[in-house]
Amino acid sequence: MASSLKNRGIGSDRDLVRLLNIKLIYHEPDVLEFKRGQEIFAKYPDAQRIEVPSHWNIPELHGNEGSVDDWNRIKHTVLVLGVKKSLTARPNTRSSDFVAPSHANGCAMACAYCYVARRKGYANPITTFVNIEKITRYIQRHAAKQGLKTEPNQADPDCWVYDIGENSDCSVDTAICDNVKDLIHLFRDIPNAKASFATKRVNRNLLDYDPQGKTRIRFSLMPAAIAQVVDVRTSAVGDRIAAINDFVEAGYEVHLNFSPVIFYENWLEEYEALFKELDDVLSPAAKAQLKCEIIFLTHNEQLHDVNMNWHPQAEAMLWRPELQEAKISETGGRNVRYRRGLKGTWVEQFCGLLQQTLPYCTIRYAF
């Protein structure tokens, strides 16, 4: 099943070591009271440890403008351990019914458009929460309160869908500990719910988790040429496409996440080539269950300023004032998006091309 990935070295343990080589662990005082915290410390016995009052309060990382110069080194070598205090399942109306309490936030990858980076300041390595048992118990209780899903919606016709990776990439989080495995196994046993997460990393270890159809992976895709600029430290787009059949065979529901869609010269021609590559590669089983999300780029002025200090080449594609307008986010943040008249036309063109090239791929939503 996983041999095609294994033979190519994609998602191997060696591949993840290149992405993560933990040398420094910031941790809250009570992390060692939890089994998961003990396991992680045992995994990185040589890492320097620095106790901090809160995973949100690390001056060396958060708000430290000088850390921009070490953006990728920090993501490669630093880990933060904390205890998740507030547990809520936030209602969602797009990719899922609910956003589950985070088991982690931050990322070892460094996509230039990622909104998570601006939430914790200038550096945002992985933060792992060690009280996973409390998190899983909360999700189990929350799902039980929902009862059966009696009316289908765009998230899923039968199950309540919980996004378990809104603030991190679960495929990378598995390199730190078994939080993701615990969550995938949890949803196997919840009759009315399933897990979901988007990823830009191929991790073959997930193929052995036996999700039994109760976890949806959304592989994020864009044309390879632009991904090479803005998808920093991620798996190559061709490798993500090549992995889809294996994940379907392993028992995952696999959708596509065309996000963010970035406007640039010849963008539609390159997306057409991407769609044709998908059509050539996907198995009949993968095509039969295929759905997608389409999300055009939203950017942020603060993130733009950060990116200009470490990746101005990406900003030349992402920051296009002549094409963009101000947008206030649901949380009150000041963002920019493509101007309304332009964006509407582009969304229509994108959806039309997709439906023409991949008629079996249901568009769950597009904006």
CATH code for the part of the protein at 3-258: 3.40.50.12110
State the average pLDDT for the chain: 92
Across 11-25, 37-51, 231-245, least confident range: 11-25
187-204 confidence digits (pLDDT tens): 999 999 999 999 999 999
At 59, the pLDDT band (50, 70, 90 cuts) reads: confident
For position 66, what pLDDT does the model report? 57
The whole-model pTM stands at 0.94
Across 115-124, 176-185, 261-270, least confident range: 115-124
- Rounded mean pLDDT, 104-114: 92
């390595």: which residue's tokens?
A: 125
| Residue that wins the pLDDT comparison between 115 and 108 | 108
């118990």: which residue's tokens?
A: 137
At 288, the pLDDT band (50, 70, 90 cuts) reads: very high
What is the percent of the chain where pLDDT is above 90?
80
| Residue that wins the pLDDT comparison between 1 and 336 | 336
For position 69, what pLDDT does the model report? 63
For position 96, what pLDDT does the model report? 98
Element of type H or E holding 267: helix 267-281
For position 215, what pLDDT does the model report? 98
5 pLDDT more than 50: no
Task: Enumerate the β-bridge partners of residue 362.
Answer: 291
Question: What is the C-alpha separation between 317 and 165, in angstroms, rounded?
Answer: 26
41 pLDDT more than 80: yes
Question: What is the C-alpha separation between 4 and 274, in angstroms, rounded?
Answer: 21
296 pLDDT more than 70: yes
For position 7, what pLDDT does the model report? 42
Q: What does each C-alpha distance from 350 to 178, 192, 254, 353 come to in angstroms?
A: 38, 34, 21, 5
83 pLDDT more than 90: yes
Across 301-355, the runs of DSSP E, i.e. the strands, are: 324-328, 334-338
Q: Are strands 78-82 and 126-129 parallel, antiparallel or unpaired?
A: parallel
For position 331, what pLDDT does the model report? 62
300-335 confidence digits (pLDDT tens): 888 898 889 889 999 999 999 999 999 887 666 689
For position 13, what pLDDT does the model report? 59
At 6, the pLDDT band (50, 70, 90 cuts) reads: very low
Task: Enumerate the β-bridge partners of residue 335.
Answer: 300, 327
For position 307, what pLDDT does the model report? 86
274 pLDDT more than 80: yes
Tell me the angle at which helices 132-146 and 179-188 cross, rounded to the nearest 10 degrees.
Answer: 30
10 pLDDT more than 60: no
C-alpha angle 89-94-98 in degrees, rounded to nearest 5? 10
Number of other CB atoms surrounding residue 285 within 10 Å: 12
Q: Are strands 126-129 and 104-105 parallel, antiparallel or unpaired?
A: antiparallel
- Rounded mean pLDDT, 202-218: 97
Question: What is the C-alpha separation between 325 and 336, in angstroms, rounded?
Answer: 5
